[in-house]
Structure 1
Amino acid sequence: MNDNHRQDTIDVYIVDADAAQRRVLAGLIAGSGADRYQAVPCATSEEALAAGCDSSRAIMLADIDTIGGAGHIAKMAGTSSRVIATSAAGSLNVAVAAVKAGAFDFLPKPIGAKALLQGLEAAVSSWNGSVETAAAKDTPARPSRPAAPSTTAASEEADFAGFVGRSPAMHAVYEQIRRMAPSRAPVFITG
């Protein structure tokens, strides 16, 4: 860390074997989020772990190939850090594998400044228990469907964003949706 590191900034560990990618992402952070985020470029996952990415309230932008595949995401994330997986092979399968392995979000390369800052803000919001992301703030709200007549408070509590279903299986789906809501990664829930 440098002497300019403020106490209230959030460390963003950029784990990528490509030095140009590290510079680009550090530049995006410095240009758009310098007042809130401090870029910490790392060439390997070992370098990031040695720097403390898993032991503090930090965010890690981890290139999946650099860290050894999506299966290594879990070892990168500490109890209070967030991993945002990145990859030039931004397929749905790669994104799903990364999120299943413990990534908070997935950003396909090349990463633009807006997408990067939205991902960082979503990660910070998740620490505060909020699931609203910058993307959600920019998206117009869907008109809500009229409420069905309800006879009990329990049935009102069982509704989830207009979905129909109160079985234990549907409650499991609702919980999955709550967990995945902060992520900008594409998600396909089946069942």
Structure 2
Amino acid sequence: MTKVLVVDDERKMRRLLQILLERMGIDSVAAESGEEALRCFQAEKIDLILTDLKMPGMTGLELLAKLRELDADVPVILLTAFGTVQTAVDAMKLGAFDYVLKPFDLEAVELIIRKALEMRQYRTENRYLRERVQQAPAFESLVGSSAAMEAVYDLIRRIGPTRSAVLLTGETGTGKELVARAIHGLSPRRDRLFVPLNCAAIPADLLESELFGHTRGAFTGAQSDRTGKFELADGGTLFLDEIGDMAYPLQAKLLRVLQEGVIERIGSNKRITLDVRVLSSTNRDLGAGIRAGTFREDLYYRLNVFQIHLPPLRERQQDISHLAAFFLARFCQELGKPAPALAPGTCQLLEQYSWPGNVRELQNLMERAAVLATGPEVEPGFFRLLLPQAAATAAEPAGETLALEPAVEELERKLILRALSAADDNKAGAARLLGVSERTLWYKLKRYGL
């Protein structure tokens, strides 16, 4: 929620500016001195400051200099009836957004306020986009016409325009983030940020800082203030991927934020009121987590206002050929080459495969096909070389041994290779698919020379 701090030693001027802001639909807080303004700024989340230049005690320029020490980005507009060229130059050198002479035209000031707030929003969004390590998913549309997916589409259309929390469930690689983006795209928040955060990819001791942000010096290594994902998503949508992996103590803090709509950065007691829609996802059984004491029941009900379950690809057999053709055409377009057709036998082979990595595994396979395939049509033999399960069933060796240990080792080796392929060679993801620890997986990789 946007809030403006109005600073002026004259009560009538403070009230005039607050009435203007109220007419604009913007919350405001007032201070009659620079010293009081600093206290307000440190106690609340302020998006813009309107301050008089000449005031008893701390002047507007001195206040601006102090504010720049606390926040280099917050826009400040100076108002004065005693303007000179030198004070205007000094204000701009200190980073003032604008310099307005009294008496002023209210419409002109309203325009300046809107421009300042827009700049604040653009800076926040641009900083977030620069900091993002992972790019947004390559495909912004959902593909599939099976009955299971039609049910998903229907829920997205119904839930999207609301502000309700949604829990997305399903196996790894089924497209939960894509569905979350579709929900955001159908909501009134579509023009604000969609901020994804993978709770499983960030160490537990750093996840709190990623969520809520921190102040300089809050802990070792906190060399500057950092905006958390909740603040970045203000007015938009926060997507908490793999929420089932969040540490139990942090779940209580998340629950409080969802209940109150207020956060505090680590190292600060400033309460920041936010308007964020929270979507979450998991590939775990959260009910089992509640029974085991690893997931909070009250948080589960807060997140699970609506639930959308995404079926695994093996249960969407009629969608497999359409998805494969879609991905193949898209990757070929990126490579600047014509997309080959999928032979009927190829489609049958793909539909018979179990797809442990779901849509993500199919997407990775089609990317390899786009690079390696030649000719106008992709034959089944091409994919038998790339699908471990298909290659294993294509030709059983004659004179197969009945010895148990080598057979088990060979099966284990094949399963590890399949999991690595499904997880795009990500060891942590492959370990989750196999149901073992990452340390165990590394041991097996070394044992089998993989």
Q: Give TM-score scaled by structure 2 length.
A: 0.25
Alignment-mate amino acid for residue 70 of structure 1: L
Corresponding position: 1:48 with 2:48: no
Shift of 1:111: 2.7
Instruction: Give the paired residue count.
Output: 119
SS at match of 1:65: coil
Q: Report whether the alignment pairs 1:15 with 2:7.
A: yes
The residue type equivalent to 2:38 in the other structure is: L
Q: Report the counterpart of residue 64 of structure 1 in structure 2.
A: 53
Task: Extract structure 1 runs of 4+ deviating beyond 6 A.
Answer: none
Cα distance, 1:99 vs. partner?
A: 1.2
Pairwise CA distance, 1:16: 0.6
* Equivalence for 1:99: 92
Counterparts in 2 of 1:122-137, with a 5 A limit? 122-129=115-122
Q: Deviations over 1:53-82 (max 9, x none)?
A: 687341111111124252441212423421
What RMSD over aligned residues (CA atoms) do the two structures have, in Å?
Answer: 2.2
Q: Does 1:86 align with 2:75?
A: no
Shift of residue 94, structure 1, vs aligned partner: 2.2
Q: Secondary structure at the match of 1:129?
A: helix
Any residues of structure 2 matched to 1:151-162 within 5 Å, and which?
none
- Offset of 1:17 from its aligned partner? 0.6
Q: 1:117 aligns with which of 92, 110, 117?
A: 110
Give the conservation status (yes or no) of the 8 Å contact 2:34–2:60: no
Per the alignment, do residues 62 and 97 of structure 1 end up closer, same or farther by CA in structure 2, a change over 3 Å counting? same
Larger radius of gyration between Structure 1 and Structure 2: 2
* Bigger RCO of structures 1 and 2 (CA < 8 A, at least 6 apart): 1
Q: What SS is found at the alignment partner of 2:18?
A: helix
- The 1-side partners of 2:28 and 2:41 are apart by 13
Instruction: Give the counterpart letter for 2:32 in structure 1.
Output: A
Amino acid at match of 1:41: A
What is aligned with 2:65?
74
Partners of 2:79 and 2:99 within 8 A in 1: yes
Identity of aligned residues (%): 28
Cα offsets for 1:129-185 (capped at 9, x unmatched): 38xxxxxxxxxxxxxxxxxxxxxxxxxxxxxxxxxxxxxxxxxxxxxxxxxxxxxxx
Matches within 5 A, 1:110-189: 110-129=103-122
Q: Per the alignment, do residues 94 and 74 of structure 1 end up closer, same or farther by CA in structure 2, a change over 3 Å counting? A: same
Tell me the equivalent position of 1:39: 28
Higher helix share: 2
Indicate if the aligned counterparts of 1:53 and 1:81 stay in contact, CA closer than 8 A.
no
When residues 113 and 54 of structure 1 are mapped into structure 2, their CA distance, relative to the original with a 3 A threshold, is farther
Q: Matched residue of 2:122: which SS?
A: coil
Residue 78 of structure 2 aligns with an amino acid whose one-letter code is: A
Task: Give the counterpart letter for 1:25 in structure 2.
Answer: L
- Structure 2 CA distance for aligned equivalents of residues 74 and 17 of structure 1: 19
- Stretches of structure 1 that go unaligned for 5 or more consecutive residues are 1-7, 131-191
Query: 1:27 Cα shift?
Result: 1.6
CA distance in 1, matches of 2:43, 2:94: 15
Q: Give the C-alpha shift of residue 126 in structure 1.
A: 1.4
